[in-house]
Each structure stands twice: as C-alpha cells, then as structure tokens.
C-alpha cells in the first residue's frame, strides 16, 4: 500500500477515534468555567489534576478553543483602517487575550506558548502563511493571510498545534488541529522557516502553491485519497478512489484561465472501475495551463463548494 494511502487511512482512523482520555480532559475544561481562575491559577489547576505533558498540552489546547473567541471585528478593522499597530500588538498579548477572552492568531499562539512554558513543555511560535478557500496560493511578500501557530515537544518529538483553527465546534475538526500530521499540515500551513514543516523533504513555495488545496470536508465525507488529474491523447481524467461510504456523492469540476472567472466543465463522463472513479472530459476544450476548483455534490446538488483547488 502506498505511503499516501496509509497516511489518509491513519488520518481517518484518527479523526473518528474518541478516547476516554480526551473526554476526561474536556470535563476538566468545563469544570474551570465555574472557578473564575486567573492564568496562574489555571496553570496550577492543570498541574494538580493532570500528570503527563500530553494531557496538560491537550487541556490548554481545548481550554483555549472553548474560551477564546476570534476577534473578527478587529480583523475587519485591519482591512479598512491604518495606524492601528499599537492595537494590533495588544491583540497579540497573551495577558490581554486571556482577560478579554478574545484575540487574533498571534494572540492564540502566544497564550498557548505561555501555558506551555508554565507547564515546562518545550514550545515554539511559528509564523508563516496559510491558504484556505479564500486564498489558494501564498505570496510571501504579502501580509495577507499571515498566520501564527505552535510546535510543542512531547516525548522527544515535535508536534504541530493550531489553537486558532482548533476553535471549531465540530469535534473531529477540533481534534485534527492538535498534533497535526506534517504531511497534512503542509496542505494549508506554510511556515517562514521550512524547519517547521517537520517534513523529511520540505516543500519550496513553488511546490506548495502547485500542490492541491484540499478542505478537510473531503475526507470527512468518506473520500480516502487526494485526487489526481491524468491525461491521454484525447481526454483529461479527474481520478480518485470511489467513495463506498456514500455512493450519492459526486463532483463538479470548474475551470478558469485567470483564477477569477470560473465556469463548469461541461459534458463530463463519470466512469467507475476497480474501485476508482474517473471523471473524463475532452482535452481539446481545456487550456494546458488553468485553474481548477471542485464542488462536492449529493444527488446532484452542491453541498460543499471549492473542496479542492489546484492549477496546471
């Protein structure tokens, strides 16, 4: 079995695995809501109730996810106002974030760092760029889509943690952003220092931008691999392992020459063979260099837009 297939299978097992250990930690997080603790008292609470570093790190991860709200109002303010540098710095301050229960990504990362240091866990703040459904290609000279996250060392091994993205109310998604597998983190997170890709062979920016952007919902919907685009003399084929978990799901392919104006690829033909699905379309009507987006459909209705994006 190929390495990528093993990785995806591991990922799917991981997101569906609910451990009693995690449940106990979440109960402790809920218990703190009635205690009105300051930062130091919260650290003492964790030290008293949790014995190992992994449990402590998860506790603070889940505590931040449950108690800190992303400051979208300030994010909008950054887009329209100038001379807000001082306020921007305050939004990153861990003490202010804890007091206000609100912050931006650097504030989340700084607060998590503070708790890790209090727990004597080795930690790093990571700066870089992210891509999501708004932005599939990173430009390093731009401050747009800058992001901050963490790496922590547990049992001698560095693990990636994103407390900002871990605030989701969706349990499987929240779990995913603690100990993010490096091979999956590089789908969305591009650190300034390639060391923090934690990959044996780090990706260059060009390789990152040329790789497929895949939303987690693709995997949550039962697909087990990252699709490929193949071709022969006459056709292109969008290829992925058949989703046996939900046979009503299908894809709609969109194409653009400029990454701005997209149109549906017409007259596609779906072929299923030996557990593989091929979505075939005529090569003569498609530019060699193009941008693609993929929608996920159920019974021919779009349920998730732009679940995959890539370019050729």
Is residue 168 over pLDDT 60?
yes
Provide the whole-model pTM: 0.78
Question: What's the rounded Cα separation, in Å, for the pair 5 and 2?
Answer: 5
Domain ranges, residue 10: 3-211
Give pLDDT tens digits for 123-141.
999 999 998 777 777 887 7
Is residue 67 over pLDDT 80?
yes
Give pLDDT tens digits for 226-244.
899 999 999 999 999 988 7
The residue out of 196, 211, 226 marking a domain boundary is 211
Give pLDDT tens digits for 281-291.
999 889 989 99
Is residue 143 over pLDDT 80?
no
Residues 152 and 238 in one domain: no
Is residue 179 over pLDDT 80?
yes
How many domains would you assign to the chain? 2
Residues 86 and 175 in one domain: yes
Residues 186 and 157 in one domain: yes
Strands 102-103 and 69-70: parallel
- Give residue 1's pLDDT: 55
Residues 148 and 268 in one domain: no
Is residue 90 over pLDDT 50?
yes
């Amino acid at each position: 079995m190929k390495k990528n297939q093993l990785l995806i299978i591991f990922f799917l097992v991981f997101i569906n695995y609910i451990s009693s250990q995690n449940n106990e930690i979440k109960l402790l997080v809920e218990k703190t809501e009635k205690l009105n603790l300051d930062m130091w008292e919260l650290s003492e609470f964790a030290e008293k109730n949790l014995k190992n570093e992994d449990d402590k790190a998860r506790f603070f991860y889940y505590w931040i996810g449950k108690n800190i709200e992303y400051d979208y109002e300030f994010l909008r303010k950054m887009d329209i106002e100038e001379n807000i540098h001082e306020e921007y710095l305050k939004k990153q301050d861990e003490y202010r974030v804890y007091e206000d229960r609100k912050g931006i990504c650097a504030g989340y990362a700084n607060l998590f760092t503070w708790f890790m240091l209090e727990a004597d866990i080795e930690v790093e703040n990571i700066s870089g760029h992210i891509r999501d459904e708004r932005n599939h290609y990173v430009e390093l000279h731009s401050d747009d889509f800058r992001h901050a996250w963490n790496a922590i060392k547990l049992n001698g091994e560095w693990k990636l943690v994103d407390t900002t993205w871990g605030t989701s109310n969706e349990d499987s998604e929240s779990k995913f952003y603690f100990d993010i597998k490096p091979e999956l983190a590089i789908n969305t997170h591009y650190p300034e220092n390639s060391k923090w890709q934690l990959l044996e062979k780090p990706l260059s920016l060009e390789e990152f931008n040329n790789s497929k952007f895949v939303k987690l919902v693709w995997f949550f919907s039962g697909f087990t691999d990252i699709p490929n685009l193949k071709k022969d003399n006459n056709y292109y084929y969008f290829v992925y392992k058949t989703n046996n978990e939900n046979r009503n799901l299908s894809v709609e392919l969109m194409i653009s020459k400029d990454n701005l104006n997209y149109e549906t690829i017409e007259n596609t033909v779906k072929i299923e063979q030996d557990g593989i699905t091929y979505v075939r379309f005529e090569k003569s009507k498609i530019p060699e260099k193009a941008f693609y987006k993929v929608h996920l459909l159920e019974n021919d209705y779009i349920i998730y837009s732009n679940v995959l994006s890539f370019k050729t």
